[in-house]
Amino acid sequence: MSYIALSDHDKKEMLARAGVSSVDELYGCLPDEIKLGRPLRLAAAMSEPELLRRFESLAARNTYVEHLSFLGAGIYPHFIPSIVDALSARGEFLTPYTPYQPELSQGTLQVIFEYQTLVCQLTGMDISNASLYDGAMAAAEAVLMANRLNGKPKVLVARSLHPQYRETIRTYVKNLGVRIEEIAFGDCGGIKTADLLAKLDKDTSAVLLQSPNFFGTVEELQRLGELAHQHQALFIVAVAEAASLGVLESPGRLGADIVCGEGQSFGLAPSFGGPHLGFMACKKEHLRQLPGRIAGQTKDVDGRRGFVLTLSTREQHIRREKATSNICTNQAWCALRATIFLETLGHDGLREMAVQNIHKADYAAGKLAAIKGVKARFDGRVFNEFVLEFAVDVRTVIAGLKAKGIVGGLDLAGDYPELKNCALFCVTEVHRRDEIDRLAAALEEVLR
């Protein structure tokens, strides 16, 4: 296939205008010794039908999608209404650049403005940016933002924060002199308060925890936030399962200074991990330290409302090495999908979805923990994930389920050696009762 739109006749005329006899001549400004001088060693070009066949056969080797799955752990299965696909596929949304020319980008800019509003409503914060790459990077950016705000060197990060978020934070701060310490979790699955208190001190820049946390447990945000604030530390709340915001109290109302998270649950398919979107919101007084693009409302010369990218003096293209972040391209199209998703579900739909998650996860957890050789590992309240502990090797349990066409839960021993023979299960509104019952029956057989 070729996507070139020039005929031989066009090329001849254009070369003449350019004052050369061949394209090779235009490459005269390259030293000869670096020219490749051979064709690239790549597979021969394919027509569209061949290409489709090739990828259909690659996709068919992902037999995961034929399984009944109870995997969550940062990527959640939720129903996506048809209009999200239909509207986001429009070329007018898919094929523009970052809206640098606002007069030609009011569609994208108004969508970002609505997205920012929705994020603020859900998180209970004053200001949202236009999106970051993903939840992990948003958490890392939140840590760096806290460090810029108060200059203190230590950040306390919950051990119950998604393991990949913790790894990403460590990577980001490695060369910047910020120290990361972990806060342990207790028997409820939530923060072990005594450990938090023991580690909070005058050097603590921020306390970062996730709710619902990696084990599904809903944290007591208000109480923990107060402890952070008593030590003049900023309180950062990460939300990896954004659907929870449909029913749980907003982190802003419970004392968060910065809220960061992953927006995949809002209209974005699992996609083997991306592209999705990181979100980030903060209090008004911290606006100038927020990383990433921000859309703002203004007026044109005729007094009509319009939107522009604003506060760009925080950003790399103006401030270069003094910018609040190096981010340039973000996840605008994913934020568009999230906006369409949220406006489609609306107030009642989002809440109903979130409540169904709680009911179904509760039903599944109760049913599974009643099986002989299975018990709930933690006793705290959860949203749509929970940890089960098995009397036998968890690997044989997972393999046994897989043999019956079921994936899940996730073996936690790799990330948490202290959680031996434990697995994380996720149940959302997409799981029907008969599917949950099938999981229970299969587990019972595997353990028999």
Partner 1 sequence: MIREPLIFEISDKGKRAFRLPALDVPAKPNILDGLPVRAEIEDFPQVAEVEVVRHFTRLSQQNYCVDLGFYPLGSCTMKYNPKINERIAGLPGFAASHPLAPEDLVQGNLEVIKLVEDALCEIAGLDAFTLQPSAGAQGELTGMMVIHACLAARGNPRKIVLIPDSAHGTNPSSAHLCGYTVQEIKSNANGTVDLDDLAKRMTEDVAALMLTNPNTLGVFEYDILKIAEIVHAKGGFLYMDGANMNALTGICRPGDMGVDVIHINLHKTFSTPHGGGGPGSGPVGVTKQLEPYLPVPRVVRRGSAYALDFDRPRSIGRVRSFHGNFLVLVKALAYILSLGPDGIREIAEMAVLNANYIRKSLDEDYHLKYATPTLHECVFSDKYQKENGVSNLDIAKRLIDLGVHPPTMSFPLIVHGALMIEPTETESKRDLDIFIGAMKQIAREAKENPEILKTAPHHSYVRRLDETAAARNPIVKWEKGK
Which residues inside 178-217 make contact with partner 1, applying CB under 8 A?
A: none
d(CA 154, CA 205): 5
Which residue of 195, 241, 315, 389 would you call a contact of partner 1, by CB under 8 A? Answer: 315
Which residues inside 324-383 make contact with partner 1, applying CB under 8 A?
A: 325-334, 336, 340, 342-353, 355-356, 358-360, 362-363, 381
Q: Which is nearer to partner 1, 89 or 202 (CB)?
A: 89
Task: Using the structure block, give the residue that is written with the tokens 């609306």.
Answer: 346
Which residues inside 226-255 make contact with partner 1, applying CB under 8 A?
A: 245-250, 253-254
Q: Which is nearer to partner 1, 46 or 391 (CB)?
A: 46
Instruction: Tell the smallest beta-carbon distance from residue 199 to partner 1 (Å).
Output: 22
Contact indicator for 195, 183 with CB cutoff of 8 Å:
yes
Which residues inside 35-94 make contact with partner 1, applying CB under 8 A?
A: 35-36, 39-46, 48, 51-52, 54-56, 58-65, 67, 69, 71, 73-75, 77, 79, 81, 83, 85-87, 89-94
With binding defined as CB under 8 A, does residue 162 bind partner 1? yes
Which residue of 8, 101, 151, 448 would you call a contact of partner 1, by CB under 8 A? Answer: 101
Q: What contacts 241, CB < 8 A, 6 or more positions away?
A: 72, 76, 212, 262, 265, 383, 384, 385
Q: How far is CA 410 from CA 180, 197, 354, 391, in A?
A: 26, 31, 22, 16
Which residue of 21, 232, 313, 396 would you call a contact of partner 1, by CB under 8 A? Answer: 313
Q: Which is nearer to partner 1, 183 or 380 (CB)?
A: 380
Pairing of strands 385-390, 204-210: unpaired
With binding defined as CB under 8 A, does residue 304 bind partner 1? yes
With binding defined as CB under 8 A, does residue 96 bind partner 1? yes
d(CA 403, CA 154): 46
In degrees, rounded to 5, the angle at the alpha carbon of residue 79 between the alpha carbons of residues 85 and 55 is 55
**Quick one: tokens of 349?**
């739909």
With binding defined as CB under 8 A, does residue 402 bind partner 1? yes
Q: Which is nearer to partner 1, 167 or 201 (CB)?
A: 167
Residue 241, SS3 per DSSP? coil
Phi-psi region of 163 (alpha: psi -120 to 50; beta: other; left: phi over 0): alpha
With binding defined as CB under 8 A, does residue 433 bind partner 1? yes
Pairing of strands 154-158, 204-210: parallel
With binding defined as CB under 8 A, does residue 432 bind partner 1? yes
With binding defined as CB under 8 A, does residue 387 bind partner 1? no
Residue 411: strand pairing partners: 423
Q: Which is nearer to partner 1, 284 or 448 (CB)?
A: 284
Give Cα 25 distance to the centre of its chain. Answer: 47
Interface stretch with partner 1, choices 147-155, 189-197, 199-207, 321-329 (CB under 8 A): 321-329
Residue 282, SS3 per DSSP? strand
Instruction: Tell the smallest beta-carbon distance from residue 272 to partner 1 (Å).
Output: 4
